[in-house]
Amino acid sequence: MVTIYVAEDNIQKDTQITEKQIKKTSIAKQFILTKPLLKKEIINKFAKETIYKNEAFLKEKLSLKIEEDREKKKKNLIINIIAIIWNLNYLKTQTIH
């Protein structure tokens, strides 16, 4: 048997994880698919997505900070690309003296 940490209850996306939200449980070694996280690797991290009651903690679902919404990232990227294109077009119209 291997000791792992699981969610005490559902943990919503962008929630900072506290010690009260995790609990220890044991699972047979043959059912371990990834290296179990240590308590210190879970506490104070943020949930990138909902973590459900009794779900084992995965590194991929945790972050050091609240994840910026993907749509917001996409919008910012588009704005930056438009600004770059505009600047390039503006530079093309300038004469070099």
Q: Which helix (H) or strand (E) holds 27?
A: strand 22-27
Residues sharing a CB contact under 8 Å with residue 14, sequence separation 6 or more, in sequence order: 46, 47, 66, 67
Residues sharing a CB contact under 8 Å with residue 84, sequence separation 6 or more, in sequence order: none
Task: Note the pLDDT tens digit of each residue in 3-60.
Answer: 999 999 999 998 999 999 999 999 998 888 888 999 999 999 999 999 999 999 999 9
Q: Which domains does the chain have, with CATH numbers?
A: 2-67 (3.90.1210.10)
Q: Distance between terminal CA atoms of the chain?
A: 76
At position 43, the amino acid (one-letter code) is I
Record the pTM: 0.66
Report the pLDDT value the prediction gives residue 86, as an integer from 0 to 100. Answer: 87
